[in-house]
Each structure stands twice: as structure tokens, then as C-alpha cells.
Structure 1
Amino acid sequence: MTPLDAAYAAMAEDEDNRLQFYERLADGEMFLMLEEEAAGADIRPRVFPLEDGPVVLVFDLEERLAEFAGGIQPYAALPGRVIAQQLAGQGIGLGINLGVAPSAMVLPPEAVDWLAGMLEAAPEEAEAVAEAFHAPKGLPQRLVEGLDAKLARAGGLAGAALLAGVTYRGGRRGHMLAFVDAVAGAEAALARAAGEALAFSGVEAGEMDVTFLAGNDPATASMAKVALRFDLPAPVRAEPAAPVAPGSDPAKPPRLR
């Protein structure tokens, strides 16, 4: 059973787990069936005209794609988020593991558009003065688990993250996630990852704020006394350059045509 199978089974057992299935789909590597081998950044998915409308097919294992196709088939290995964002607005559904796995299902175009919208939502900037920190309370376990999973893939972008309850000047209370010693330029990506973890947890927006602190900031020491700490993994040492597959550079997403 793959992680996507497990997420699908959890959703089938309890509809409240639906968001976690979509998050797993977005974060995982998916194998998109193509009409022909990719040519540079241009890839041409194979479109199937089903009764309910056209779909493209993705599989969470290369072996599953080969099983469905009955042999070798051109494909592109892409994050699920990239596929959803490229399909958004085109009226094309997404067939997932059809005929080869317990997680087989078809996402209609409106579900693909919804997922793409969830992934594109940008955090809003605001200013507030924190007066006191306390241990985090009342946050669902799925948010904590979602943050842990997201930050595990953000190695090298910050030293750590601290999650604590906070009281702001004026009396407003909430929760704050502070990234400590974030790499310059990584703030937007880290804030987006935290925002996605919040959105896919089902927690109402506004219950967690994100900030960035230096390790020697007095606020960092105050938070560390009461916060839940997430240690981001050390950056992986770069390997010798290898051919770049379509979609592997997030700054240059492939063009589906």
C-alpha cells in the first residue's frame, strides 16, 4: 500500500480525511501518461474522452502506469501540485491509479480547479506586536502532523520552526509559527508551506500566524521555552549535475499542451 492508497482508505472511512487525501496527492510525485516523449519543457498528456468528460491519467508508481498501459508508455514524473495547476481551467479531469490500485478514482474538472486554487492561495501580510507566548493549545493533531510533513521537505531553508500560542497587544490571542534563521529569499516558500498545512488541516484561517526570527532574537528565546519545535533537516549535499526532467525545476514548470 502506497501513501496515496492509505490516504484514500482513510478518506473512504471518514470523509473528514478528504483534505489530507488532496494534500497527499498534491505533495506526491505522480507519473503522468503522455502521448509522446517530452520535448524540452513541452509535454503532451494523453487525454481520454470518458463519458463524463476528458481526463488525463496519473499514477503514484511507475509500475502501476506500466500495468495500466500494458507495457512501456511515455510519461512525465511531476509533483501532483504541478499537474493540478497546469490543468486548472481547462475542463479536464484527473484519473488517478485507474484500474490498478485501491485508490483508483476520477477527480472532475471542478475538483482539479479547487485543488489548484488551494495551492495558489497566498498568505496575507499583517502587522501585530506579540506581548506573551504560551504553550500551543487546541490545535488539531492533523495540523501538527501536516506541518511536520511539510517542513520535512524544506531542508536547508531554515534552522527550525517554533509553534506557540501568542497574545498580541490589544488582547488578541492565537498561534504563531516562527521560522528561525530562514535563508534569505526562502520566506515566501516557507510561508506558503505553512499556509497549505493550515488549509489542508481544515483549521479556520487566521488561527496561525507566521513570522521569521533570528536565532539571537529575544522573542526566539521566549518562544522556545513554551513552543513545539520542528527541526528542519540539513540540506542534502548536491550531487553532480544530471539531465533535468520536465517539471523538476519548480521555477520552470512544464507546459502541458
Structure 2
Amino acid sequence: MTPLDELCQVPFHDADAPARARILSRLADTELFAALLEEPADDRAELQLFDLPEGRFALACDREERLAGFVGGPVAYIAMPGRVLAGALADEGRGLLVNPGYASQLMLDAEVLGWLVRALQARPSMAPDETARRLGAPAPEAVALLAEPLAQRLGDMIGLVGRLALVMAEWHDGRQGHALILAGVDPAHQGAVAKALAELLAFLPELPGGVDIGFAERDLPREALILEPPPPPPAPEPVRRDPSAPPRLR
């Protein structure tokens, strides 16, 4: 099972709109192996295009062996993030067939790819510099909508984010909405982290008042939803030589 497979417990084309959006968000961050007509030459590569009743589609899989299995043998390919492939195909009015025959099979026409590209252009709505007048518990519908996608996104940010909190915020101008308050983020990485969260939010239904993103090492209300990225994987243990083994000769 790949991360895309795990999100497609309900097939993409049968899923509801929020589930489809989350699948497309994951696709954008997935390395895809796209079939080529021949090996790249002089930094140029030509995708294989398949004529289907719905239009012309490129073929890509999230595992090399899946691509070879579908084609029926070795095939020239190029590896790139889904967001890059989607942008190139949308510009030319082509579609994309992903993982045919697997749980995460997707048939995305140029219109869907164009929507994906526009969502990836989302810019973060940053929290005001001043301290909020009041922070409180997030609305239950916000928790239901955001808890799982935020936890998955934090899994991509191991070592970048120390803590993320979802709260309801009331600002001094009277505006109310939700806020994501992050702690333990190096200032050099704050822009990239905020952009990644803005992309995630762009794929989800909008909450009343919106969701601001801020960075602060501050106390939080007890009712806040607090998420932390999983710990980094343990370093592999060094190989220990059997002291009873004969010496290696050079």
C-alpha cells in the first residue's frame, strides 16, 4: 500500500469532494514515474500519450514496478513530483492516468489538473502581528475537518515543526476565525511551512472566518487542539563485526 492507496479506501471517483481534494493534495507531493516514448536525450523528454474516449492522457505511477507491470515490460520513464507533472499537462490540455488497476487509480482530465495547479498557488493568510484578544476552543466542525489532514501534513514536516495548535481566535478588530499557531519552527523555514499549510487548506472546504497561520512560542488555552509531528525514525545501528569471525584481508 502506498500513501495514495491508503487515501483511496473509497475509490477516487466515488469519494466525496473533501476526500477527493485530499487525494489530489497528496498526489501533488508524490513522486510519480511517468512513461516516456524513449529515453530522454539532451535534457528533453517526451511523454507517452494514450488516446482514450475522454481525451489524450499521460501515464504515471507512484512505483516504478507498477508502471512496468501496466506496460508489460521495461519502459523509459521520468520521475517528478505530481505538482510538476500536473502543471505541464494542464498547460497542454492533456489528462493524467495514475496507478491504473490499483486502489488509487485516478483519471484526471485537464480541467481537474488545472484546478489542482490553481489550488497549489494558494498563499497563506498570516495571523496579525498583534496578540489575539482571545483564544479558545476550535469549533467541532473545524476539528472534524482539519485534525486528520493536519496530522498527515505534520508527518511531512518531521524536524521542521515542534508543535501545531488549532484554536478559535478573536482579533482586536473584532474579526473571528480559526488559527493555526506553530511553535518550534526555524525562522528560515517559516515561509515554506506556511505555504505547505496554505496548500492543504486550499484543498479543504472553507471555514467561516477563514484560518490564519501564525508562529508564536506562547501559552495556549487548554481547549486547543494540539498536534505534534511523529518523532524522527531512529538512526540505523552500526554494523558490529563478529569478534569470532576471521579477519578481512585487503
Scaled by the length of structure 1, the TM-score of the pair is 0.77
Aligned to 1:227: 224
Equivalent runs, 1:11-30 vs 2, <5 Å: 11-16=12-17, 17-30=19-32
Aligned to 1:245: none
In the TM superposition, what is the alpha-carbon distance from 1:194 to its structure 2 partner? 1.4
Q: Distance in 1 between matches of 2:135 and 2:60?
A: 45
In the TM superposition, what is the alpha-carbon distance from 1:211 to its structure 2 partner? 0.7
Q: Distance in 1 between matches of 2:213 and 2:3?
A: 28
Aligned to 1:104: 105
- Alignment pair present for 1:163 and 2:160: no
Aligned to 1:48: 50
Q: Which has the higher contact order (CA 8 A, sep 6+)?
A: 1
Q: Deviations over 1:218-238 (max 9, x none)?
A: xx11x2644222223566799
SS of the residue aligned with 1:37?
A: coil
Distance 1:200 1:185, change over 3 A: same
Q: Distance in 1 between matches of 2:77 and 2:20?
A: 27
- Alignment pair present for 1:61 and 2:63: yes
SS of the residue aligned with 1:186?
A: helix
Q: Distance in 2 between matches of 1:102 and 1:236?
A: 27
Distance 1:142 1:66, change over 3 A: farther
Q: Deviations over 1:180-200 (max 9, x none)?
A: 132122122111221122222
Using the TM superposition, name which of 192-201 and 108-117 deviates more.
192-201
In the TM superposition, what is the alpha-carbon distance from 1:167 to its structure 2 partner? 1.5
- Residues 146, 201 of structure 1: 8 Å contact kept: no
SS of the residue aligned with 1:114?
A: helix
- Residues 26, 80 of structure 1: 8 Å contact kept: yes
- Residues 125, 212 of structure 2: 8 Å contact kept: no
Q: Distance in 1 between matches of 2:188 and 2:228?
A: 19
Tell me the percent identity: 35
- Residues 132, 167 of structure 1: 8 Å contact kept: yes
Scaled by the length of structure 2, the TM-score of the pair is 0.79
- Residues 136, 164 of structure 1: 8 Å contact kept: yes
Aligned to 1:203: 206
Q: Distance in 2 between matches of 1:40 and 1:184?
A: 39
In the TM superposition, what is the alpha-carbon distance from 1:210 to its structure 2 partner? 0.3
In the TM superposition, what is the alpha-carbon distance from 1:119 to its structure 2 partner? 0.9
Q: Distance in 1 between matches of 2:26 and 2:173?
A: 38
Q: Deviations over 1:157-191 (max 9, x none)?
A: 23222221211113322211112132122122111
Rg comparison, structure with higher value: 2
Aligned to 1:119: 120
Aligned to 2:144: 141
Q: Distance in 1 between matches of 2:231 and 2:191?
A: 19
Q: Deviations over 1:35-80 (max 9, x none)?
A: 2334586443222233433211111222211111111112233322
Aligned to 1:85: 87
Q: Distance in 1 between matches of 2:180 and 2:3?
A: 27
Superposition RMSD in Å: 2.8
Unaligned runs of at least 5 residues, structure 1: 240-257
Using the TM superposition, name which of 43-52 and 139-148 deviates more.
43-52
Aligned to 2:97: 95
In the TM superposition, what is the alpha-carbon distance from 1:107 to its structure 2 partner? 1.0
Distance 1:184 1:126, change over 3 A: closer
Q: Which amino acid aligns with 1:198?
A: L
